[in-house]
Amino acid sequence: MKVAVGMSGGVDSSTAVALLQENGHEVIGVTIVTHEGGLAETAALEAAEQLRIPLHVLDFRTVFKQEVIDSFAESYYRGETPNPCVLCNRKIKFGELLKQSRGLGADYLATGHYVRKMVDETSGRWLIQTGLDAKKDQSYVLYSLSQEQIAHALFPLGDYTKEQVRDLARNRKLTAADSSESQEICFIPDDNYAEYIRAAMGKDSEPGDFTDFSGRIIGRHRGLIHYTVGQRKGLGVTFGKPMFVASIDPVGNRVILGEGNDLYTDILWATGLNWIALERLSGPLKVQAKIRYKANPAAAVLYPENNLVRVQFETPQRAVTPGQSVVFYDGPTVLGGGVIVSDKCGIRQDLLKAE
């Protein structure tokens, strides 16, 4: 079987190649250039040479900008806090890269994601499950994959912990064994979101008012791109007590502030739904739900409401943030997920219109 491995040159993708080779597969490497200043191709070339596999370096800068960077910038400018990794996995890695890998003769595209793939023997549907290493589990960012994409994906590291992967690499004397972890968002230097969005959009966002929940003006903000729900530091104004961003109102160009307890809500709404373990949501369903990548799963009930799903939590959740994904689980199995369109103040109607 011929397998293409998405290679960054790091320990995960390098070890994935080694494991696949040892299982008798013909392996080729594929590396994508996604943005200016990316250095992954250099490390990938070194890893491919050591592993003695051909490496195809593919220029994805145009499609990555169209599908990921522009979407991220526009969403952030609307007062959302999107997760570009979700979009990248669906559109780029398991979209265009999978397509081109199959064009190179590969039957599957393998990646270094810490997740497991299974098939439901009853329904025949492909499933994504959490990886063995709970700290490294990446199932959250793969909830939007289609059945066709999962069918042609392989995840060789799903049954290993990160330290086990490093040990596997050391035992095989791979130069990537002790490589550093990648940064949170690969295309934003120094995690300076506001500066990046300003450059990408070619404009800054307009200053406006800080208000409380009653609408009373309590200060001035620098522009919506400088804030996200739950933020405390960097408000630029002191209030004599800890204050947090509770909600962002782009229609009124307001940032609504509250105290710590004001950040909690037991309900959210999501749109852009994708189901993996289910064909569709036909009625109320008990799940565990994650409202951000590093969040712990929380017990909730899903209710379908037209093109939305309402998520009712058993216990209030802190800083529900529009633009982030909410992902639904049944134990280790990803049921599906969607993009949050509400916060403490309810549904953001402007986001429904933007759909």
Which residues belong to the active site?
A: 88, 186
Q: For the chain, give the number of residues.
A: 355
Find out whether 126 and 151 touch, Cβ atoms under 8 Å: yes
Output phi, psi for 64, to 5 deg. Answer: -65, -40
> DSSP string covering 54-96, please?
-EEEEE-HHHHIIIIIHHHHHHHHTT----HHHHIIIIIIIII
Q: What is the 3-state secondary structure (H, E, C) of 293-335?
A: CCCCCEEEEEEEECCEEEEEEEEEEECCCCCCEEEEEECCEEE
Please tell me whether residue 274 adopts helix, strand or coil conformation.
strand
Angle at 175 between CA 113 and CA 16, to 5 degrees: 25
